[in-house]
Structure 1
Amino acid sequence: MASKIDFTIAPPAIVLRELGDRVAASRLQQNITQDELAEKSGVAVRTLRRFEAGNGGSLETLVRLLQALGQADSLELILPRAGISPMQAIKSPGKRVIKDKSRQRARKKAVKPIPAWSWDEQETP
């Protein structure tokens, strides 16, 4: 049984290796050779071999390979489209919420100043 990878803490090299393994497994499951997949995706055979070995690759390469393997819909799972958060809807109930209108800017979080401490202050029980 293959070990499960925690993508939140795994180093990028491990993640790339896992992606390469998954592309290779999908290719083999569909009984496609590396040469056939390379031709179908428009990626060089050497690039495909490096990708499957976990030796890097571009996002474009990943997209091309997933499209050629018929798994492009899995790209939606990588980074789902951001929508209006429930907190945004609660904070602005009077405003009209446009369905496809999402935030355009991020706001810097306010930092509360820490009060100065001195040795002559007493701890309260």
Structure 2
Amino acid sequence: MIDYSELSAVELVRMLSGRFKEYRLRANMTQKEVAEMSGLSVQTVHRFENGTVTDIALSSFLLLIKAVGCINDLNELMPEQPESPYLYKENKKVQRIRHKRA
């Protein structure tokens, strides 16, 4: 099993780009079809899949996975967390975490 915390951001993006290409191929879609469905250019899709774009915007990545029908898998990536009693202070939900200065 891969320890993703050991990978750099560039390595993670390259890994996702390779996986994305597999998803596109399994969806029986061309890069042009993905580009048209996502509103991105064919060049962007091509460069992402080949790993030459390592700083893809999150919004662009979401459009790409939506185009190949994987957007509903986001819940596996970041499932909704159950309510935590530790996030309440004086019966009010904590909006941000602040650490006291020493």
TM-score relative to the length of structure 1: 0.66
Of 26, 29, 34, 2:31 maps to 34
Structure 1 stretch 75-84 or stretch 32-41: which is displaced more? 75-84
Structure 1 or 2: more helix by fraction: 2
> Structure 1 residues 8 and 25, CA, compared in 2 at 3 Å: closer, same or farther?
same
- Tell me whether 1:107 sits opposite 2:98 in the alignment: yes
Pair member with larger Rg: 1
Q: Mark the runs of 5 or more structure 2 residues left unpaired by the alignment.
A: none
The total of aligned residue pairs comes to 100
Q: Mark the runs of 5 or more structure 1 residues left unpaired by the alignment.
A: 112-125
- Tell me whether 1:79 sits opposite 2:87 in the alignment: no
> Structure 1 residues 84 and 24, CA, compared in 2 at 3 Å: closer, same or farther?
same
Shift of residue 6, structure 1, vs aligned partner: 2.0
Aligned equivalents of 1:63 and 1:106: distance in 2? 28
Give the alignment's Cα RMSD to 1 decimal: 2.5
Shift of residue 73, structure 1, vs aligned partner: 1.2
Give deviations 1:29-79, integer Å, cap 9, x for gaps.
Answer: 111111111111111011111111222211111110111111111223333
Equivalent in the alignment of 1:51:
48
- Residue 5 of structure 2: SS of its match in structure 1? coil
- Residue 5 of structure 1: SS of its match in structure 2? coil
Aligned equivalents of 2:29 and 2:3: distance in 1? 29
Letter of the 2:60 partner, please give it.
T
- Residue 6 of structure 2: SS of its match in structure 1? coil
> Structure 1 residues 82 and 106, CA, compared in 2 at 3 Å: closer, same or farther?
farther
TM-score relative to the length of structure 2: 0.79
Aligned ranges for residues 5-44 of structure 1 at < 5 Å? 5-44=2-41
Shift of residue 103, structure 1, vs aligned partner: 2.6
> Structure 1 residues 70 and 42, CA, compared in 2 at 3 Å: closer, same or farther?
same
